[in-house]
Structure 1
Amino acid sequence: MLRFHFPELRLLITLLILLTNAVWAQLPTILPLQKPDSLFLSLKKKYNRAVERQDKLAEAVCLEEMGRVCYHLGHYPQSLDYHLQAGKRFRQVGKPAQVATNLNEIGELYYYSKKPQLARQHYNLALSIHQSLKNRLGVAVSYGHIGHLYEKQQRYDSAFYYQRQALQQYRQIDHKPGIAKIYENLGSIFEDLEQYDSARYYFQNALRLSKQTGDEIGRIEIINNLGDVLRKTGKYRESLQLSKEAIALASKTGEQHQLSGAYNDLAKGFSLLGKPDSAYQYVALSRENLKLIYSEEGNKQLALLQTLYDLERKNSEIEKLTVARNVNRIIAVSFTVVILLLGVSGFLVISRQRLKIRTEQALREQNQHIYETQHELIQAELRNKALEEENLKTELAVKAKELTTHTLHIIHKNQLLDELRGKLEDMTNDEKRDHKKQIRQLLQRINQSFQHDHYWEEFRSVFEQVHQTFFDNLKKHNESLTGNDLRLAALLKMNLESADIATLLGISQDSLRVIRYRLRKKFNLQQGESLTAFIQSL
C-alpha cells in the first residue's frame, strides 16, 4: 500500500479538487433529460403529422422542443437549426410572444457557442418584442439573460443594471421563482467582486424564496453557492453543513450534476480544515459521480445521435422512394401527354394544311381581283395625271405667253414714252416759252408713268404663276432684298437683254450696271461668277 506524507497528500487532494472543478465546470448548466432519444422520436412524429395537416403553429412548437432536446445534450448547432426553423414558422403564423421566447433561447445557444455579440443581438430583439407586447415576465427574462452575459464578460456595472431591471419586473408581477433567480445572479456578481457579505445576503434571500416555491433543484445550486461564500470567508464548518444539505437534496431528487458538485465542495471544506483523508474520500466520490454522469450523458448522446442517424436515413430512403414514384408518375403522364399531343398535332397539321390550301386559293382569287382593280385604278390615275400634265403645260404656255406679251407691251410702252420724253425735252429746249409749262407737266406725267407699280404688280402676279418659288428662293439667300432688286432678278430670270431691262426699269445702261453690281454683292458672288447664271439656277 502506498503511504503519503501529510503535505504530499494535501497537495494531491488539492490537485484532484482543481481537476474535478475543471471537469465539472464543463458540464452543462441545464439538466439533461431522461430518455432524450424517445422524446425526440415522439416530437419528430408529431412534427410530421403537423406537416401533413399544414399546421404551422404545431410545426413550430415541435421544432422548438426538438431544439431544446438537442440543447440539453450539448448539440448546439443542431439545436440552433431547429430553433431558427421554429422562429420562422412562429413569424408566419403571427405569434410574437413565441418568437421572443425563441429568440431568447437562440441567444443562449450563441452564448454557449462563444458568440456573445450574436447572443446580445437576439436578447435585444426578444426584449424589444416583449416590451411592445407589455409582457413583464418576458421582459424580466430578457433582462436577466443580458445581465448574465455581462457578468461572464466581467462588465459588472452593466450586469448589475440589467439584473436590477429584471428584479424590478419580477417584483411588479410578484414572480417569486424569477426573483429568487435574480437574487442568485446578484449574489454571483458580488462573489466575483469578492464582496462576500453582499453575496451571502442575496444567496440567503434566494434560498428563502426557493424554499417558499418548493424549487428543490434550484435550492441545491443556491446552497452550493452559499457554501462557496462561507469557505471563502473562512467559515469552513458552516460551509460543510451546507454542502451536506446539498448532497441530501441532490440524492433525494436524483440530480447527479448537483451531487457531484456538492461532493467536490465538501472535499474543499475538509481540505481547508486539514482533513485530507475525508477530502480525498469526497473527491473520489465526486470523480466517480462524474464518471457516471459522463457515461450516462454519453449513452444518451449516442442514443440521440443514433436516432438522428436513423431518422436521416429513413427520411433519405423515403425521399428517394418518393422521388422515384414521382419520376415514374411523371414519365407515365408525360408518355400519355406525348401520345395525345402527337394525335392532336397530326389532326391539327392535316386541318391546317386543308385550311391553308383553301386560304391560299381564296387569297389568290382575292389578290387577282385586287390586282385587276388596282391596275384599272393605276391606268385611270395615269390618264388623269397625263391630262393634268397636259393642262398644266397648256396653262404654263399660256401664262408664259401672257408674261412675254405683258413684258413686250411694257417694253413698247416704255419705248414710246422714252421717245415722247426725248421729243418733249427737245421742245423744252426751244425758245418758245408759251408751251414750256404744259410740256413740263407732260414730262412729269410721263416720269410718273415710269415709276408706277400697277404694271409691276400685274407682271409679278403672272411671273409667280410661271415661276412659283423663285422669290422665296431669292429671300433664302438674302432677306433684305428691295422691290427694285426683286424686279431686276425677275427680268434676269426671263433672260432679257440689258437694254430691254433698262427700258423696263426706266433707267440708263450705266444705272443698270450699278444695280447689277449691288445685287451681286447682296448675293456674295465672287469675281468671275455670272449673276445671270446664278439667277437662272434658282
Structure 2
Amino acid sequence: MPVFLRNTIHLLALLAALTLSAREQTDTLKVLSGIRGADVTVYNLYRENRAADRAKAMEYAELFLSSADTTAAEPLLAAVCDELADWYEYDRSLFSRAIRWRSRSLAIYESLGDRHNEALAQYRLSREYTSLGQYHRALQYVSSAMNYFERTHDTDNLIECYNILGVVYFTCRQYDRAYEWFTRYTDGARMAGDTSRMVLGLNNSAVLAYTLRDTLKARTLIRESGFLSSAVRDTSKLCKVYLNNVSLYLMSGDLQAAASTLETVKPLLRKPDETGLYYQDEGLLLMAAGRLDEAAAALGKAISAFGTGEYGSKIQHCYGILQRIYAMKGEYRNAYQALIRYYEADIANRPDEIFLDFYKVQKELEMSREQEKMSRRQNLVIFLCSIGVLSLVFILILLYGKSKRKSLEIRRQEEEIASQNELIELRKLHDYQIGRMTEELSHKLTELNAGVKDLTTRKKISAICRELVKSKDENEWREMNRFVPAFNSVFYQRLIADFPTLSINERRLCALLNMNMTTKEISEITRQSPHSINIARARLRSKFNLTGKTTSLQEFLSRYNP
C-alpha cells in the first residue's frame, strides 16, 4: 500500500476516533448536568487516570461519588459504583467498602428496572458478604440472583451461584447441602465444557469428602481434578485448587505432597488471601515437621498478608495455630498473647451469631419458597379451572350452534316437505279433475254408443271408453311422480349450496324447470297464471346473474345435475 494512502487512512481513523470521543464526552456532560452534586472535573480526572494509575483513578471515583447524588437513576453512576466496588474487592480485599458501593449500584439498577444488572449486583454482593463471613446476607442475595438466572437460563452466572452456595453451606457445616451445590457446580461446568470450573468443583468436593472422613472418595476426586489441572489457564482458580490440595495433604499426613504442592503454587500467588493461605499452610507443614520457630515465622507472615484485607476469620485461625505452636515451645506468655488475639478476633466476628442469623434466613427462604410453590400450585389450579370453564363454554356454544343449524335444517326440510305436499295435493286435484273429465267423457260416449246402430262404430266407441279408463288407472301415479320435484336429489342439494337464499317457491320452480317443463305445464301444476310464472322466471334469471345472457334457465340448471 502506498505511504500516502496509508497515512490518509490513519488520519481518517484518528479523526473518526476524535469525533466519537467528542460525541461521547458531550453525552456524558449532558448526563452529569442532570445529577445533583456531580463534579465534571473530578469525573474527568477519574476517566483520565483509569489506564495510567488505577489506584488514583479510584480515589477520584470515590471523591466524585461522595459528592454526587447517587440516588439518581443513572446507569453512569451505577457503572462507577461497580468499578469502585470491584477495585475494593479484587485489588484491596476491603469487602465492607466494596459492599458499600455495590449496594448503591444495586439501588440504581432497581430504580431503573434493569433486572439483569440487578441480579449481577446481587450475586457480587453475595460473593463479598461470603468473603466478609456474613453468610446470612450472602444467602439472601445469592438466592435472589439465582432465581433470576434460572428464569433467564443464564447458565454462566447460575453456575457461579452454585459455587457460592456450596461455600456458604460448607462453612456453616451443612455438608449435605454443600455437597449438592458443589456437585451442581461441577456438573454445570462439565456441560459448559469449562475445565477451570470443573477442576475447582471437583477440588471443593474433595475437601468436603475429607472433612466427612471419606478418604477414598476425596483421593478419587483429587486425582480427577489433578488430571484436568494441566488444561487450566485461569491462574486464580488454579491457585485455589493447589491451596486446597495442600490442605488435603496436610489433613491426610502426606507432608511430602504438601511441600511439593506449596512449591508449585508459590509463583501463582497474586491476592492477599492466597498469600496468607500459602504461609498458613507452610506454617502447618513446618509445625508437623517439628520446625516450630520457622512455623511461627510463617504464621506471622500469614497474619500480615491477611491483615492487608478484611480476613478476620482467617487471622483468628492463624492465631489459634500460633497459640498451639508457642505452647509446644513452652513460650506460654506468647501463647497467652496469641490466645487473647484469638478471642479478640472471635468477639469481632461473632461466628455463633452469624450462624444463628444464617439459619434464620435459611428458614425464611425455605418458607418463602414453599409459599411460592403453593402459590404456583394454586395459580395452576385456577388456570386449569379457567381452561375447563372456557372449554365447557366453547363446547356449549358449539352444541348450541349445531342445535341451531339442525333446527334451521329441520325447518327448511319441513318447508320443503310442505311445498312438496302442496304440489302433491295440487297434482291430486289436477288428476282428480282429469279423472272426472275422463269418467264424464266415458259416460257420454257410452250413452252415445247406445243410440248408434252400426255395430262396428259401437265397438270402436266401446274400445275408446276402455282405453280412457285404462289410461287413467295406469298413468295416475306415474304422472304424479313426474311432476313432483325430488327435493332430496343431488341436483337440489347442489343448487341450494350455491344459492341458499332461494325461496321455497323459487326452489320449486327450479326443480320443475330442470325437468324441462314448459310454462304452461308449470302453470297447470301450480295453479298459477303463465304471466306469474314468467315473472318468477325473470326473477330467477336475475338471481342467477343471467340477465342479458343467451343462456336459458334450463341450461343453467342442468349444470347441477349429477
- TM-score interval, normalised by the smaller of the two chains: 0.3 to 0.5
Q: Which has the larger radius of gyration?
A: 1
Please, what TM-score do these two structures have when normalized by structure 2?
0.40
Please, what TM-score do these two structures have when normalized by structure 1?
0.42
Higher relative contact order, chain-length normalized (CA < 8 Å, sep 6+) = 1
